[in-house]
Amino acid sequence: MEAVAFLVGLVVGSGAMAWKARRQRRHWQRLLNQVPGDITQKDLSVQSQMRQALAHLSNRQAEAEAQLAMYEQVLELAPIGYVHVDGENHLLMFNREARSLLKVSDWTPGGDRLFLEVVRSYELDLLIQQTRYQQQSYHREWRFFPHAADADEIISQNPQTLKAYSLPLPDGDVGVFVENRQVLLELTQSRDRWMSDLAHELRTPLTSIQLVVETLVERLDGPMKGWVERLLPETQRLVSLVQDWLELSHLESQETLTTEPIHLQELIESVWQTLDPLAQQKSVGVRYRQSDELDQELVVEGDNSRLYRVFLNLLDNAIRYSPPGGTIHVQAQLISQPQSGDRVQIQVIDEGSGFAVADLPHVFERLYRGDPGRGRNAEAHSATTAPTSTGSGLGLAIVKQIVLAHRGTIHADNDPKTGGACLTLELPAASFS
């Protein structure tokens, strides 16, 4: 009886073992079916094929780890700073250039330190949070003041202008590239000082030359008068360039603004009256419109003469690049910002050829000349009319400086409806009339 029970148990146990073995082989086969066919030899047993697959995967993992280590080494030695934080703001990677730019010497890889514990930069932390929550790339330029333990160290460490570019990564991680803009800023300031000094030196002799040329135009006859008449607009252009540069220098010196409530529509109409003779040459009109939900006129807080210059430049450009018979659209709306104060957003839109995409980041730079095609289009449109103005290349730079002096913002884009240029500025709102 005991022998029978033993045999029955042996059979049941053997069957169970065989069932488990078949089940295991089927599981391995399913795994092998997911492996590319050229990795394993099909004439081998399942166990042998599995060992081959595991060996291959081990090699692939080693290759991936070696490649990752190479990329990390490249980032470590890159001439641009790189910072990588996880979803909880722990600092995962902090390459050599970033440590140098952000004045950090006590960080070691593999630690569990928070970003703000290592880097004392509120601006950079805000950029990281914004990127994580919005899941969009952003960039920011700011003045970085290194952390110092005492007053002597504060004096010895000069602040730097840095610019950061962020990108969202999986699992809430954020990567940030940081570059040093201090050298470029100093070169730009040096160039601007040199140009300002030159403009001061040229102002008096150019004014004298202009007076002489104007006098000669009135007194000469024949072929000589034609030559002098050709010289006059070029002289006026140089005088305008010098005056514009000097005005830009005055604005940068933080000249005090005389602010008052300004009715926006009245300001636009006043500027248009000045430009109306130029607009009539091309049969160009202007259309002012503010948000439908507003039943009162928008009022901004600003310096009347300075804002007059802003809209004079913007509308003059819009006329210059508008086709004959076109319309310039000026759209305004109130943007409520309880914490920082209400703002008035104004858009100046023309129906011309718009900006080249490559020019958009540079249109407010001094002496920057955009895509020649835009200029050629403007000339083609106005071939039968007198030119509106030659332009000094400083108009939009002056516009931006005035807007910044009013604690406002301005940026350029192309309007999706008209295809023309769209200049959008925001200014502090005053009160309704």
Measure the CA–CA gap between 409 and 22, rounded to whole angstroms: 72
Spatial contact of 32 and 40, defined as CB atoms under 8 Å apart: yes
- CATH architecture for residues 79-180: 2-Layer Sandwich (3.30)
pLDDT of residue 372: 55
Per residue of the chain (433 residues), give pLDDT as tens.
Answer: 666 565 656 555 666 666 666 666 666 556 555 555 555 555 566 566 666 666 767 777 777 777 777 777 777 888 899 999 998 999 888 888 988 898 888 777 777 788 888 888 889 999 999 999 999 999 999 899 887 665 565 556 688 899 999 999 999 999 999 999 998 888 888 887 887 788 888 888 888 988 988 888 888 888 888 888 888 888 888 888 888 888 877 777 766 788 899 999 999 999 999 999 999 999 999 999 988 677 678 999 999 999 999 999 999 999 999 999 999 999 999 988 766 678 999 999 999 999 999 899 889 988 777 655 554 344 444 433 333 344 567 889 889 999 998 989 999 999 999 999 999 999 999 864 4
Going by C-alpha positions, the residue among 317, 383, 398 that lies closest to residue 351 is 317
Say if residue 428 is exposed, middle or buried (CB neighbours under 10 Å; 0-12, 13-18, 19+).
Answer: middle
d(CA 149, CA 330): 53
pLDDT of residue 44: 60
Q: Do domains 185-252 and 259-428 have the same CATH topology?
A: no
Residue-level pLDDT at 293: 72
Q: Is 302 helix (H, G, I), strand (E, B) or coil?
A: strand
Structural domain boundaries of the chain?
Answer: 2-73, 79-180, 185-252, 259-428
Give one DSSP letter per residue of 186-225, joined into a string.
HHHHHHHHHHHHHHHHHHHHHHHHHHHHHHHHHH--THHH
- Per DSSP, the residues of 113-158 read -BHHHH---HHHHHHHHHHHHHTS--EEEEEE----SSHHHHHHS-
Helices (H), 220-326: 223-252, 264-281, 304-321
CATH architecture group of domain 185-252: Orthogonal Bundle (1.10)
End-to-end CA distance of the chain: 111
Q: What are the strands of the beta sheet with 285-290, ordered from one edge?
A: 285-290, 327-335, 343-349, 421-428, 409-414
The number of CA neighbours under 13 Å toward the Cβ of 323 is 9
| Residues 119, 284: Cα–Cα separation, whole Å | 55
Determine the 3-state secondary structure of 388 from DSSP.
Answer: coil
Strands, E assignment, 252-387:
259-263, 285-290, 299-303, 327-335, 343-349
Q: Which CATH architecture has domain 259-428?
A: 2-Layer Sandwich (3.30)
CA distances from 359 to 301, 349, 371, 372, 400 (A): 31, 17, 7, 11, 16
Least Cα distance to 167 among 159, 155, 175, 157 occurs for 175
